[in-house]
Amino acid sequence: MVSPSRHLLIPFAGRASPACRDALATLRLPNLEALLGRLARSHDDTQGEQTLSPPHERALARLLGMPAEDGLIAWGAREAQATGLSRAGSGEPWGVVTLCHWEVSIDEVVFDDPAGMAIDAAESLALLEAARPFFQEDGISLRPSRVPGRWLARGEPLRALATASIDRAAGQPISEWAPLTDALKPVRKLQNEMQMLLYTQRVNDERSARGAQPINSFWLSGTGALPKGAGTPTAAEPTVTTALRDAALRDDGAAWTAAWQALDAGAVAELLAAAEGGAEIALTLCGDRAAHTYTPQPRGAGAWLQRLFKRPRLQPALEAL
C-alpha cells in the first residue's frame, strides 16, 4: 500500500462514559460516514481500558516509529531530543512533569485536568527552581520545556518507571492511576513533598489572590528512553486533533456532540475532499480501548463488492473504540 500523504488521528472519537455513550446513539456525522464508506480498516489495536497509555498515544507512537510499551512511551525523551536537551541515540531516560491541582476530600484525591490551568512562564520557572533540589535528591534533574507548567525530567529512575498518561488519569482519583506500588513509592513521596513545598510558595499566594486555582502537585508521565534509531516516522506524520478531548474527559455529551459536528464539518470534510480528489489518505479513530486505522479500499475488479459488504457504519465503528 502507498503511504498516505494525509493522515488524521482523532482521539476520544468513541467514549464509554455514560453521557458520551448515550450521545453516540443520535450522533450524525455525514462527512465521516461518507469517508468511512470509501475506506476499510487496515490496522486494529484493541486492549483493555486500564492500559496506562491510551489508544491514541499508542497509535501516534507507532506512526512516529517509537516503541509503545504500556506506560513507557518516551514522550519526554522525544521532546528532549527535539529541543536539543538530549542527542539522538543517547538512550537517556526522561519524563514529563506537569504542574497540576489535586482536589483533596475526605475519601479521595482527584487529579484535576491540568489543561484548564493558566500557568505563565514566570510561575513555572519559579516553581521549578524551588522544586529542583527535591528531585535532585532522587537522582532526577529538571529542565523547563517550551510549555509553561510542563518540565522535562532526566534521570535513571525514569528508565523503566511505567506511568499513566494525563489523558487516562485527568478527572480521576489518583489512587486508580498512581497506586502506592513499590515502583511508584518514590514518585508519591516526591508528590507529597511538593504538596508541602507548593503550599508555601508566593506563586500560589498570588494565584489565590486573583482567584486562580492553586498549583499543589505534579503528574509524571511520558517516561522511558528512546532506543537508538527510534523516532523516525513510518509515513507522513499525522495531524492529531484535540477537539473532542475536553468534552470527553468531562463526559459532557452535548459538548462532545457539538465538538464532533464541528470536526466533521472541518478536518473530516477536508480529508474526505482529499480522498475524493485521489489523494492517499488515512484516518485513525481512537477511543478508550482501541485505535482503528482506515485506509482506501482496493480498486479494480470486484472492489465495488468489497465496498458494498465491508463498508464500516458510523455508530458501530465508534462503539467499537
Q: What is the pLDDT of residues 183-211, one digit of tens each?
A: 889 999 999 999 999 999 999 999 999 99
Using the predicted structure, report yes or no on whether residue 298 has a pLDDT greater than 70.
Answer: no
Using the predicted structure, report yes or no on whether residue 217 has a pLDDT greater than 60.
Answer: yes
The answer to the question of residue 279 being in a domain is yes
Looking at per-residue pLDDT, the higher value among 151 and 232 belongs to 151
The answer to the question of residue 218 being in a domain is yes
- Which position has the grid cell 494525509? 6
The answer to the question of residue 69 being in a domain is no
- Flag whether the pTM goes above 0.95: no
Q: Which domain holds residue 164?
A: 75-225
Same domain, 145 and 83: yes
Same domain, 177 and 271: no
Q: Which of 177, 205, 225 is where one domain is finished?
A: 225
The answer to the question of residue 208 being in a domain is yes
* Structural domains of the chain, count: 2
Same domain, 269 and 201: no
So what's the pLDDT on residue 89? Answer: 82
Same domain, 135 and 220: yes
Same domain, 135 and 253: no
Same domain, 267 and 301: yes
Same domain, 54 and 85: no
Same domain, 239 and 289: yes
So what's the pLDDT on residue 183? Answer: 87
Q: Which of 225, 246, 266 is where one domain is finished?
A: 225
What share of the chain in percent tops pLDDT 90?
79
So what's the pLDDT on residue 2? Answer: 56
Question: What are 81-96's pLDDT values in tens digits?
Answer: 999 999 888 899 999 9
Tell me the H-state helices in the chain. 18-24, 30-38, 55-63, 75-82, 121-137, 166-169, 174-177, 185-199, 202-209, 245-250, 253-263, 269-276, 303-310, 314-319
Same domain, 221 and 243: no
Q: Give the mean pLDDT of 259-278.
A: 96
The answer to the question of residue 1 being in a domain is no
Q: Give the model's confidence band at 311: pLDDT under 50 very low, under 70 low, under 90 confident, else very high.
A: low
So what's the pLDDT on residue 293? Answer: 95
Please count the CA atoms within 13 angstroms of the CA of 124 that sit on its side-chain side. Answer: 20
Q: Give the model's confidence band at 301: pLDDT under 50 very low, under 70 low, under 90 confident, else very high.
A: very low
Q: Which of 199, 225, 251 is where one domain is finished?
A: 225
So what's the pLDDT on residue 288? Answer: 96
Same domain, 32 and 49: yes
